[in-house]
């Protein structure tokens, strides 16, 4: 749990502020899961702090939730293209992906259960970035990643907006985004 909270501090996800009277304060809860290896042996205990986003009201606490997701057909096409051109594919999982998305709405959450500030127990956290469980978290995360890629000379696909390509003279780098996973390949080893 402390590791998760440290990640929030490193990513500047929130700021402790006095409880507002004119805004909804969303509750939080811990979701705990045991990560197992292929033999079923527990190798790591994982705790994630999530917002109780079911309390959010559309038009008040968030505007847009939709985030583009690569269709299975698009991923198959990328795999087929890479295979037919003998490209090596790579896959990566973005750790704490939702904690990277900036939110434009004013969102407040309760202090994490068991980790309340003893000097300021009635204060709440004002979010600057998305948190798992918020309705707008997937969209905020995708928009941040998309803007970073575009600012680094990638072009977004016109039909599939989860596909990004960057050209280097006669070569290119191709990236396909699927929620928090990224598949990428290069035309030149």
> Per residue in 66-114, pLDDT tens?
667 788 888 888 889 888 988 889 998 877 777 778 888 888 999 999 9
Residue 146 and residue 148: Cα distance in Å, rounded? 5
Rounded to two decimals, the pTM is 0.73
pLDDT at 116: 94
Using the predicted structure, report yes or no on whether residue 154 has a pLDDT greater than 90.
Answer: yes
Tally helices (H) and strands (E) across the chain. 3, 11
Using the predicted structure, report yes or no on whether residue 31 has a pLDDT greater than 80.
Answer: yes
pLDDT at 59: 56
pLDDT at 36: 83
Residues with Cβ within 8 Å of residue 103, at least 6 apart in sequence = 127, 128, 129, 130, 134, 136, 140
Please state which of the ranges 11-25, 78-92, 126-140 shows the lowest mean pLDDT. Answer: 126-140
Confidence of residue 35 (pLDDT cuts 50, 70, 90): confident
């Amino acid at each position: 749990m402390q590791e998760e909270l440290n990640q929030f501090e490193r990513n500047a996800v929130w700021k402790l502020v006095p409880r507002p009277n004119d805004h909804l304060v969303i509750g939080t809860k811990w979701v705990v899961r045991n990560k197992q290896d292929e033999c079923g042996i527990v190798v790591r205990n994982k705790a994630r702090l999530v917002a109780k986003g079911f309390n959010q009201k559309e038009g008040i606490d968030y505007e847009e939730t939709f985030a583009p997701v690569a269709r299975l057909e698009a991923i198959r096409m990328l795999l087929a293209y890479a295979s037919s051109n003998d490209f090596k594919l790579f896959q990566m999982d973005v750790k704490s992906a939702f904690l990277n998305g900036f939110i434009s709405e004013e969102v407040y959450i309760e202090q994490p259960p068991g980790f309340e500030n003893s000097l300021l127990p009635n204060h709440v956290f004002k979010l600057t970035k998305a948190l798992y469980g918020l309705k707008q978290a997937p969209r905020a995360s995708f928009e941040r990643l998309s803007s970073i890629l575009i600012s680094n000379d990638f072009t977004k696909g016109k039909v599939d907006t989860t596909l990004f390509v960057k050209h280097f003279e006669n070569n290119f780098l191709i990236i396909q985004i699927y929620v928090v996973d990224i598949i990428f390949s290069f035309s030149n080893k």
